[in-house]
């Protein structure tokens, strides 16, 4: 399977560091097109047709900038007027060149497709059937005492590990389905809905039918080693119901019910999802302080659990998102009142730990955002666009040390770009669209290390991600279509990184979970943004 998928990718992987940095997939004909040359340069450059060897465009180098971290000099090579579809490379008069890239009306369509297929590859079956999952002592109820065995099959593995977490899975489906609703008629939408339904069907099994609360996660007590899924030995449990998991569940189920109601084959499922969402929401209202604290849980209950916590200090943003989705789905005034009670005072790009942005996205798509909310979004977009001024890599992302942390490529670079596109839909400011494209350019190769940070895509991409499935399948190389976390100066994995500069703190080895892990929520931003840019740029 892996070898077949590699053959279908746009370009093959290699490890050479280019002298001229480009988006290794390429550009849309009408989009801005900028390459970045390493070093100071004042001469000319050419765009050369890869098939014929002919020069099809020539220009003089633009401004030179310095990296705010390393001081390295970087020169912009702007070839925006070049809009003829084809396959090209950038060549300078002093012999520097770029990797091959395309100019094409569908240039990001292969990226969207492989990002979607990554979810299929991340499915937990057949590796973990999860038909004999125990109720953890922290999750007991009258109908389900400790040790009760339930069936909870399906869903995706969360990241490089083999566990399944409601908070992150609900955020993931919510963000992907937000794109589904925002860009109706997109060519991949049938497949997107089908794949999201696979995970949502699992999530339904995580709700306690006795009270409506939702278990925080399905997990082993500790992380499994780097072994094949079928070789795992630990008992799997569902643990403690939490208000954040329950509200994220309610939000994603309410959203999915609204979408599924459009299709006769999903009508019964839509009713089930809406009822489950409202049941969960009521549990959350009755248990608003039931935040997940793994440290405190382990003091009271056995066995101890040390896997991903997805903890939170507040459920206000989850109440807002769930209220938005259920208001849009049911039209009930009570949800609108709760939505306004929990409405934030500013817009923030969505993250699993702050889902306010998903509430904004839903309201904007359905024309229900207040004028204040619209102003919040535009203020945010303006602040992001300003960061591109004088940027050495011609992107609003990557110019501050705050841009680099665990999962930064998803949670800053791409999440900001997605938000810019909602602003673009609101006021038509083309700079927002351009900056969203430039963030994608950064991700796909126009960055300090010249990496396309998606496995199996571009001419230089990660080959050793922190990913148990890929590391144990017996086939060399990664599973394709996965976004890695990206440069992370915190280096929580304790690995020996080759650089201390924030934008170069990346290491392509399996052990580097702080920079090189994969995760479903990160792929959600990749899929949403690729779909959005492809839909808007055609």
**Distance from C-alpha of 318 to C-alpha of 254, rounded to nearest angstrom:** 13
Place of tokens 């997940």: 292
The closest alpha carbon to 250, from 166, 132, 364, 363, belongs to 166
b (16+ CB within 10 A) / e for 124-136: beebbbbeebbbb
Catalytic residue among 32, 161, 274, 434: 161
The SS3 of residue 379 is: helix
b (16+ CB within 10 A) / e for 505-538: bbbbbbebbbbbbbbbbbbbbbbbbbbbbbbbbe
The closest alpha carbon to 36, from 450, 412, 434, belongs to 450
Active site residue 466: yes
Alpha-helical segments (H) within 208-266: 243-260
CA distances from 212 to 241, 284, 378 (A): 10, 9, 37
**Distance from C-alpha of 349 to C-alpha of 413, rounded to nearest angstrom:** 10
**Distance from C-alpha of 276 to C-alpha of 193, rounded to nearest angstrom:** 19
**Tokens representing residue 325 in the block:** 């989705």
Active site residue 296: no
Polymer length of the chain: 538
Catalytic residue among 158, 278, 325, 508: 508
Q: Is the separation of the CB atoms in 312 and 170 below 8 Å?
A: no
H helix or E strand, kind and range, residue 116: helix 109-121
Q: Is the separation of the CB atoms in 323 and 335 below 8 Å?
A: yes
The SS3 of residue 268 is: helix
Catalytic residue among 158, 504, 517, 534: 517
Place of tokens 């895509």: 457
**Distance from C-alpha of 193 to C-alpha of 117, rounded to nearest angstrom:** 12
**Tokens representing residue 116 in the block:** 């979607």
- Classify the C-alpha dihedral 437-442-446-452 as positive or negative: negative
CA 227 to chain centre: 26
Catalytic residue among 466, 503, 504, 528: 466
Active site residue 304: no
Active site residue 366: no
Phi, psi of 180 (to 5 degrees): -55, -45
Q: Classify residue 40 as left (phi > 0), alpha (psi -120 to 50) or beta.
A: beta
**Distance from C-alpha of 353 to C-alpha of 248, rounded to nearest angstrom:** 10
Active site residues: 161, 466, 508, 517
């Amino acid at each position: 399977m892996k070898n077949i998928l590699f053959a279908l990718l746009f370009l093959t992987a290699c490890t050479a560091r280019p002298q001229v940095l480009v988006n290794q997939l390429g550009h849309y004909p009408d989009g801005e097109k900028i390459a970045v040359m390493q070093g100071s340069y004042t001469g000319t450059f050419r765009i050369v047709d890869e098939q014929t060897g002919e020069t099809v465009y020539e220009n003089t180098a633009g401004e030179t900038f310095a990296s705010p971290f390393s001081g390295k000099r970087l020169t912009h090579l702007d070839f925006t007027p070049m809009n003829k579809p084809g396959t090209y490379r950038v060549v300078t008069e002093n012999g520097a060149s770029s990797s091959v890239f395309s100019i094409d009306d569908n240039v990001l369509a292969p990226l969207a497709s492989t990002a979607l297929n990554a979810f299929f590859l991340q499915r937990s079956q057949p590796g973990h059937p999860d038909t004999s999952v125990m109720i953890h002592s922290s999750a007991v109820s009258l109908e389900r005492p400790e040790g009760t065995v339930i069936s909870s099959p399906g869903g995706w593995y969360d990241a490089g590990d083999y566990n399944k977490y409601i908070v992150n899975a609900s955020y993931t489906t919510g963000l992907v389905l937000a794109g589904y609703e925002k860009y109706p008629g997109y060519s991949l939408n049938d497949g997107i809905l089908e794949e999201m339904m696979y995970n949502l069907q699992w999530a339904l099994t995580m709700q306690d039918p006795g009270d409506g609360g939702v278990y925080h996660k399905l997990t082993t007590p500790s992380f499994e080693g780097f072994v094949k899924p079928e070789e795992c030995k630990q008992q799997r449990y569902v643990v403690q119901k939490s208000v954040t998991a329950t509200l994220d569940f309610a939000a994603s189920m309410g959203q999915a019910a609204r979408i599924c109601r459009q299709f006769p084959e999903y009508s019964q499922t839509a009713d089930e999802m809406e009822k489950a969402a409202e049941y969960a929401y009521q549990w959350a209202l009755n248990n608003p302080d039931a935040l997940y604290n793994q440290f405190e849980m382990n003091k009271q209950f056995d066995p101890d659990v040390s896997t991903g916590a997805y903890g939170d200090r507040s459920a206000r943003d989850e109440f807002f998102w769930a209220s938005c989705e259920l208001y849009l789905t049911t039209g009930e005034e009570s949800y609108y009142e709760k939505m306004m009670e929990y409405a934030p005072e500013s817009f923030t790009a969505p993250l699993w730990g702050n889902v306010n942005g998903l509430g904004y996205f839903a309201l904007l798509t359905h024309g229900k955002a207040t004028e204040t909310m619209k102003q919040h979004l535009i203020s945010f977009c303006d602040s992001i666009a300003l960061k591109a001024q004088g940027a050495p890599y011609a992107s609003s992302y990557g110019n501050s040390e705050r841009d680099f942390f665990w999962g930064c490529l998803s949670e800053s670079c791409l999440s900001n770009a997605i938000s810019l596109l909602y602003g673009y839909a609101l006021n038509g400011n083309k700079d927002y669209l351009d900056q969203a494209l430039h963030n994608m350019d950064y991700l796909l190769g126009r960055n300090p290390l010249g990496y396309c940070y998606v496995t199996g895509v571009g001419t230089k991409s990660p080959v050793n991600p922190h990913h148990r499935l890929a590391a144990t399948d017996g086939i060399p190389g990664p599973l394709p279509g996965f976004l890695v976390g990206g440069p992370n100066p915190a280096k929580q994995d304790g690995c020996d990184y080759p650089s201390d500069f924030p934008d170069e703190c990346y290491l392509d080895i399996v052990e580097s979970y702080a920079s090189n892990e994969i995760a479903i929520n990160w792929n959600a931003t990749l899929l949403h943004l690729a779909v959005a840019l492809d839909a808007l740029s055609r």
